[in-house]
Structure formats: C-alpha cells, structure tokens
Amino acid sequence: MNNSKIKSKIYHIIYGTDTLAGKTFDVALIGFILLSILVVCLESVPNYRTHFLFYFLVLEWILTICFTIEYFLRIYSHPRPLRYITSFYGLIDLLSILPTYLTFFIPGLHYLMTVRIVRLLRIFRILKLTHFIQNAQALKLALQASFHKITVFILAVLSLVLIVGTVIYVVEGPENGFTSIPLSIYWTIVTITTVGYGDITPQTPSGQIISSIVMLMGYAIIAVPTGIVTVELSKTAGAHNYVDSESFNCNQCGQKLNLTANFCSNCGKRVNDLS
C-alpha cells in the first residue's frame, strides 16, 4: 500500500462514518472524550485529588497522548492540513491537548487544566456527521426564527431590570445588603427569573412590596419567550406538514389537495391525470 492509499484510508476512518472502522473510531472517540471529561471533573474534587492524584495523572497522560496522535493523524490525512488547523474544530483539538503539556512545563498554572473541558465540544463534530442531529433541526429552525423577537424581549427585560434595580437600591439601601446598583441589578435578575437564591432579600415593607410587584411581573413576563418559541415551533411543524407531506395542487383548478385524494375536491378531475 503506497502513502496516498494509507492517507486516504486514515481519512475515511477518522472523518468518515460510512465504514465499520469509521463508526468504531467515532464510538471509541466519544468514549475517550467522556472519560477525559470525567477525569477533569473528578480531579477537581479535593478529596479525590488527595487520594487518586496518581491515577488521574496516568489516565490524563494516556488520553492526552491518544488525542495528540489523533490530532497529528488528522493533520496528516486531511487534504488541506492548514485549513484543518485553522478551522474551529482544529483549534478545539489543539486546545484539548495543549493544557496538559503546558502545565507539565509550567507547574503553577493549575486552572489552565480546566480548559480541557472544551473537549466536550469535540463530541458535537461526531454528532454532526450522524443522523442524530437531524432530530434537533426543527428545534434549531424555531429558535433561529424567534431569535429577533427574543432579543427584543431580553433588551426590554434588561431595561426593566436596570430601573427596578436602581429603585430597590434607593428604597432598601446598603444597610439591608443592597450595597450598590450593580448588586441590586443582580438581585433583580435573581428575582425576576424566579431563581430566588435568598442571599439578598428585601427587609423593609416598601422593599417587599416592590419585590412582590417584580415577582408578579416576572410571572407574566416568562409567558413571552414561551409564547414566541411555541408559535415558531408550531409554524415549523405546520409548514412542514403542509408543504412536504400532506398536499399538492390540482393542475386543472389549482385546488389544494390531500396526498390521499384520488379526485380534485373542487372540479372533480382525476388525480391520476395530474402528473
């Protein structure tokens, strides 16, 4: 087997999903990524770091070396290596392995290790190639269609939050925990989104009245994004059914017809004649 054939074979295994080897590679890669994310998470637990640090390090280095080999194979087998390196997923792949090498040489950069969490994004490349993501298409379309309206909505909420935050800062004041306008805005967001941590709460009766109004407003406001997304989703669902799967037009009178129709419901022309 010559060099070009090997290259092509590696390319099909790494980038393709139509062969058994390609599918096995994808499933194994997902497993490796999930394992590596689990290591990042568990390593951060103080108790585990004390007892299992050695095992974490060994596992981390094995995974990093695997990902490094994969990275260079991707560069090697890609028809345009430079294009891959500068692409979004190329940079993600680099960011996935760099922190381990960097912290080996510069041991002080502890938090750098958390950058490895970007490995999660590598999963989406694999999902993109499969049929899995097609289920998410309707969702994506509806969210894109409602993006403008949701932006207007978020801007309106932010304005409201800014004004309510200032009012509550004046009413409650620093002595009740509302030490500054930014903190009061943070409290307003916590309240209007109905999260309600309770780390800062109104203490004066007038502050509690304002809070109550804000909460009831938040109750009515939450209806808006829901309404927007529902209408868009329902449009997508409706439009899809209408155009693609349920109707066609009679070529004699232009009447909209059901796919199951044998005759035009308006002029009585046989559907068999239509095409």
State which of positions 30-89 bind a second copy (CB under 8 A).
37, 40-42, 44-46
The stretch among 22-30, 54-62, 71-79, 186-194 that binds a second copy (CB under 8 A) is 186-194
Binding region for a second copy (CB under 8 A) out of 54-62, 73-81, 86-94, 165-173? 165-173
Residue 263 β-bridge partners: 270
Report the alpha-carbon distance of residue 23 to residue 16 in Å, rounded.
8
**Dihedral angle computed from the Cα positions of residues 265, 270, 273 and 275, in that order, rounded to the nearest 10 degrees:** 30
3-class DSSP string for 8-69? HHHHHHHHCCCCHHHHHHHHHHHHHHHHHHHHHHHHCCHHHHHHHHHHHHHHHHHHHHHHHH
CB of 91 to a second copy, least distance (A): 16
154 vs 149: CA distance, rounded Å: 9
Sole window of 15-23, 59-67, 79-87, 252-260 interacting with a second copy (rule: CB under 8 A): 252-260
Site string for a second copy, 89-128 (x = CB under 8 A): ----------------------x--x--x--x--xx----
124 Cβ contact list (under 8 Å, min separation 6) = none
CB of 110 to a second copy, least distance (A): 10
Q: Which two tokens stand for residue 175?
A: 């002595």
Task: CB nearer to a second copy: give 21 or 126.
Answer: 126
Which region, judged by CB under 8 A, interacts with a second copy, from 10-18, 56-64, 67-75, 173-181?
173-181
Number of residues that bind a second copy (CB under 8 A): 95
DSSP bridge partners of 257: 248
Residues 6+ apart with CB under 8 A from 251: 274, 275
- For residues 132-161, which are near a second copy according to CB under 8 A? 135-136, 138-139, 142-143, 148-154, 156-157, 159
Contact between 6 and a second copy per CB under 8 A: no
Give residues 192-231 in contact with a second copy (rule: CB under 8 A).
193-199, 201, 205, 208-209, 211-212, 215-216, 218-220, 222-231
Report the alpha-carbon distance of residue 264 to residue 1 in Å, rounded: 63
> Is 109:102 a contact under the CB 8 Å cutoff?
yes
Q: In this complex, which beta carbon is closest to a second copy, that of residue 84 or of residue 169?
A: 169
Instruction: Give the single-character DSSP code of 108.
Output: T
Tokens of 182: 């930014």
CB of 207 to a second copy, least distance (A): 10
Report the nearest approach of a second copy to the CB of residue 101 (Å).
19
Comparing CB distances to a second copy, the nearer of 21 and 176 is 176
